[in-house]
Amino acid sequence: MFKKNKIKNPVFFFFILLFFFLIPLISQAQTSIGSHIYLTTTPEVPVAGKLITISLSYPLSDLTRARISWYVNNTLQSQGVGKTKIDVPMGKVGERTSVQVSITTQEGKFLTQTIALTPSSVYILWETDTYTPSLYKGKALPTQGSTLRLTAVPTFIKNGVEINPKDLYYTWSIGGVSKGDAIKGGQVIEVPFDKKSTKTSISVSVANANKTVISKENITITAAKPDVVFYENNSVSGILYNKAIPSVFTSPKKTFSFIAEPFYVPSSVFLAGEYNWKINGKIAQSSDNSVRALTVSPEGSLIGAVNTIEWSITNRALFGGVLKKILSLTL
């Protein structure tokens, strides 16, 4: 009969079991060591036609003594000891660029990591609700207290096909303050222009569903100053918008009609404001059934003398509460 062998050293037996238990863990740590390679890009989001800097870090070894090779679209672009950065030109919007780095550390380990970059683009269009005359060919400008309507216009191309902007996610920031989480299809946003600031910064970040393609845009919008311009209201030709009346004006006519046009006043103010005309400090009645029109005749002024004509609009929504224009008129 066989005799049972007693384990004389249980501690030794414990370490034997521990060794076999740790073998798979040791193997796993060696194969996943490449996950400690970090590649960062500057700027964070690639821009079509621009250079992007890719920086390498690996905390488990001294990279200043490592031999590093960089490949762009499988072509060797740069190599050398301690070469931890590379500048890579981006292609067109939607054109994918593959960057691979290979490292041979001073300890003799070979590691590799790859990053794929696909530039996209986004532009911010803006419009505002301020008033301009009907025949004005310029763009309405924002003023303090007006409303800005912002539209993000992205161009995202994946696998040669442009992604529908409604399928993208938009994160807006106004004046450095986030307007909330990313919203699918949130291309358009309306925000008030701060009454206490003459400038506002706008930024939008756009991404696809899995955030493999991202683009950002930042703009700064400066508030204009509301202004009032006087134009002659000719009984034959109508309003002569081609020539503004200067602040000091001598009329060739004894009876003179003109109109006040308030440029860049918020629409809410324009519709609900209180309008007043004054001639030499006294309240005057508007004419032609318009609060912005006035006719001055010898009965209401002194011929040959300088008459002070004032038009004003009052509304608490205005910055300062009132907007006015003064004209020195001689008949």
For 59-104, what is each residue's pLDDT tens digit? 999 999 999 999 999 999 999 999 999 999 999 988 889 999 999 9
The first and second tokens of residue 302, run together, are: 């002194």
Q: Does domain 33-117 have CATH number 2.130.10.10?
A: no
Task: Please write down the long-range contacts of 108-112, taking CB distance under 8 Å and 24 or more positions apart.
Answer: 109/33, 109/61, 111/33, 111/34, 111/37, 111/58, 112/34, 112/37
Q: How long, in residues, is the chain?
A: 331
Q: What are phi and psi of 208, to 5 degrees?
A: -80, 180
CATH of 121-222, one of 3.40.190.80, 2.60.40.10, 1.20.1440.230, 3.40.630.30: 2.60.40.10
Give the pLDDT confidence of 19-35 residue by residue, as tens digits. 444 333 332 222 233 45
For residue 289, the model assigns a pLDDT of 64
- Alpha carbon distance 137, 298 (integer Å): 36
* This model's pTM is above 0.75: no
CATH 2.60.40.10-classified regions of the chain: 33-117, 121-222
**What proportion of the chain, given as a percentage, has pLDDT over 70?**
87
Average pLDDT, the chain: 85
For residue 60, the model assigns a pLDDT of 93
Residues 150 and 184: beta-carbon distance below 8 Å:
no
Q: Tell whether the model's pLDDT for residue 301 goes beyond 70.
A: no
> Confidence band (pLDDT; 50, 70, 90) for 212?
confident
Q: Does domain 227-330 have CATH number 2.30.38?
A: no
